[in-house]
Amino acid sequence: MKHQFIKAAAVSPDLRVADPAYNAQKIIEAIETEEKKGCELLVFPELSLSGYTCGDLFLQRTLLEGCLDALDLVAKATQDKTMLVFVGLPVADREKLYNCAAAISGGRVLALVAKSYLPDHNEFYEGRHFSSGQDADSCIRLRSGSASLSPRVLVYDEAHPEILIACEICEDFWVPVSPSVSHCKHGASIVVNLSASNELVGKREYRHTLIAAQTGKNICGYVYCGAGVGESTSDSVFAANNMIYENGACLAESVPFGNGICEAEIDVGFLLNERRRKTSYRNFDAEEDKEYIWCPAKFVTDGDLTLRNIDPLPFVPHGEDCRADLIFDIQANALARRIAHTHVRGAVLGISGGLDSTLALLVTCRAFDLLGKSRKDIVGISMPCFGTSKGTKSNADALMQALGVTARKIDISATVQRHFKDIGHDPDVLNSAYENAQARYRTMVLMDIANEENSLVVGTGDLSELALGWCTYNGDHMSMYAVNASVPKTLVRYLVLAEAHRLGGDTEKVLSRVLNTSISPELLPPDKQGNITQKTEDLIGPYELTDFYLYHFLRRGDSPAKTLYLAERAFGEKYDRATLKKWLVSFYKRFFAQQFKRNCVPDGVKVGSVSLSPRADLRMPSDASCALFLLEAEDL
């Protein structure tokens, strides 16, 4: 397990009903195969040693003894393996018969988990043979030693005690309050389910819905393993529907009637961090009267990720066309409400011809359309100065014309030169005063025109700029409502592109030019050909990297080491390790140093799971030290 990832697998081997020796051999073969792949947690179906559809054969002592022999074979096969395995079998305890899951590791059976809820609503009628294990509390003699039998078992890794695995069996999961709820309250981060759910039309989709909801509510991983086609087909068929979930998201699933193998890597570190973040989760107290059996084992390895796809653009939707419209609607409706509440006549925006102001203008147009207001009440102001390039100036003019808003141009060069004289600044010194004087004057112009026009200044700055402090304090840092405040730069690009495709025509052509323009604050003079010389990503890092780091820092709570490890897998073909590390160190330095800007930002709408609002989402002192993060990052 590297960086708290657990490599899990659900396997439905081709079994024979009532043939434990054969089934044990197939299970052992699967164990051998999965060990070579680095599997740490391996789950087999319900009653996998006997077969689920044995019917009255479960009452035969010969079958029960054969299952114990088979269990001993499987346990011995794990002797030299770092793996936790769950197999299913019937277990007799005096006058009762239980449907059990055996937790196996290091050559021994750690415990037997008894099924609590028995289905009597289908053709198998488990209640005919088995007793509910809800109150089971026994010690069962096995071929080699003995094991506790209980419905409440937690297995933890000796070297990583925060990794807790629990188990429930098929019908347990379908009841209103399943055992997994209690398991998670007691600390289980992953729940396994040994199942024999038959295949019916629509059942697979319903099963997905239930598991997604269960893992989302309990913030856990879930490994579901269903019986395969080796079961009897007298009245039903089983399709080896296996799936692995993490906090509501499906990581992997097997193809029904396929090979019955499902593998994925569960991020336990993320699950634990998410539980700590959510106060509503912490408020669910564990039931004091339910005692658990705690079983130590050694199943965590140091293997690398081989299965998990690390998304290089975690903020950007993939294959979901409706997501762009939803985000636009969130932004536009929030702005529309603010305009209606303040009773202003219009909106004022600074239009630079870049991505952020373009998105803000598109959102404002949609807000005015929602309100039934004329777009002529939107005043877009371009304010060329020392760093304005021909391309962005042209983009700004064309965009405002295409969208039908009121366009104004105010050249601020002479005024800023006068300001330099007032403050005693040499205009040949291209320092921060030279740059920020332009940004602050632009903001003053916008605010004063908004007052003059009874309008509201719509902010254009985005989440990525706030995270890195790439904004001028009390310049573009300030507005009357910030529609892009929780939209990172990579998402800004996605939204503008989506809107370009939606609008088409001349507007699409203008937006395409904006998308192809280098990102720049344009505060330093262009070259002799009028091209941009000040490129943002050369100074603070590629936005695809800084957004990736921001997501893993704030949303998933990843350490610098884990973040770099994941970045190498996401960007390994594009950036070398030294480059990734350089911008990671830069990210931590900038993020901590620039909190003072974020602690006094205007209101802005939240569109996703990450926001930097000091009023709700990020409570952080401006003078917090980044030394601990830098110590780890610089030492990587």
CATH at residue 35:
3.60.110.10
Tell me the C-alpha distance between 20 and 67, whole Å: 5
Domain that holds residue 577: 321-634
Domain identity same for 329 and 275 = no
> Is 350 contained in some domain?
yes
Work out the average pLDDT over 5-15. 96
The answer to whether residue 304 sits within a structural domain is no
Please say which residue of 294, 310, 345 terminates a domain: 294
pLDDT attached to residue 123: 56
Q: Are residues 484 and 623 in the same domain?
A: yes
Residue 604 is classified by DSSP as: B
Q: Quick one: 280 and 330 in the same domain?
A: no
* Crossing angle for the helix pair 489-503 and 505-515, to the nearest 10 degrees: 160
Exactly one of 39, 54, 100, 170 is catalytic; name it.
170
Rounded to an integer, the average pLDDT of 222-246 is 91
What burial class does residue 604 get, using C-beta atoms within 10 Å of its C-beta: 0-12 exposed, 13-18 middle, 19+ buried?
buried
Domain check: are 290 and 332 in the same one?
no
**What pLDDT is stored for residue 528 in this prediction?**
73
Q: Is 46 annotated as catalytic?
A: yes
Pair (358, 463) in one structural domain: yes
Given this model, what pLDDT does residue 285 score? 60
Mean pLDDT (the chain, rounded): 93
> Per residue in 38-75, pLDDT tens?
999 999 999 999 999 999 999 999 999 999 999 999 99
AA identity, residue 103: A
Question: How does residue 335 score in pLDDT terms, banded at 50, 70 and 90?
Answer: very high
Shared domain for 328 and 451, answered yes or no, is yes
SS3 label, residue 180: helix
SS (H, E, C) 421-489: HHHCCCCCCCCHHHHHHHHHHHHHHHHHHHHHCCEEEEECCCHHHHHHCCCCCCCCCCCCEECCCCCCH
**407 & 267 share domain:** no
pLDDT in tens, 485-495: 999 999 999 99
The angle, 0 to 180 degrees and rounded to 10, between the axes of the packed helices 505-515 and 390-403 is: 150
556 and 507 fall within a common domain = yes
Q: Is residue 300 part of a domain?
A: no
Confidence of residue 278 (pLDDT cuts 50, 70, 90): confident
**In-domain check, residue 312:** no
Tell me how far apart the alpha carbons of residues 311 and 305 are, in angstroms, rounded to a whole number: 13
> What's the rounded Cα separation, in Å, for the pair 331 and 484?
8
Indicate whether 299 belongs to any domain: no
Structure token digits, residue 256 = 């029904």
Total number of domains in the chain: 2
Please report whether residue 408 resides in a domain.
yes
Same-domain check for residues 456 and 495: yes
Q: Within 13 Å, how many C-alpha atoms sit on residue 597's CB side? A: 23
For residue 405, give the H/E element and its range. none
Check whether residue 285 and residue 427 sit in a common domain.
no
- Quick one: pLDDT at residue 320? 66
**pTM for this model (two decimals):** 0.93
- The tens digit of pLDDT for each residue in 497-530 reads 999 999 999 999 999 999 998 887 777 887 777 6
Q: Percentage of the chain with pLDDT > 90?
A: 85
Residue 307 in domain: no
Which two tokens mark 596? Answer: 């003072």
Final residue belonging to a domain, choices 259, 275, 294: 294
Closest CA to 330 of 291, 367, 288, 287: 367
Q: For this structure, is 600 an active site residue?
A: no
Q: What is the CATH number of the domain that holds 503?
A: 3.40.50.620
Q: Distance from CA of residue 618 to its chain's centroid?
A: 18
Nearest residue to 332 via CA among 295, 369, 357, 298: 369
- Same-domain pairing of 266 and 334: no
Strand ranges (DSSP E) for 115-235?
138-141, 146-150, 153-157, 164-169, 190-194, 221-225
Domain identity same for 97 and 245: yes
Q: How many residues does the chain have?
A: 636
Q: Tell me which of 35, 46, 168, 522 is the catalytic residue.
A: 46
pLDDT score at 209? 94
Asked whether residue 301 is assigned to any structural domain, the reply reads no
Burial class of 103 by CB neighbour count within 10 A (0 to 12, 13 to 18, 19+): buried
Residues 7, 26, 115, 581: which is the catalytic one? 115
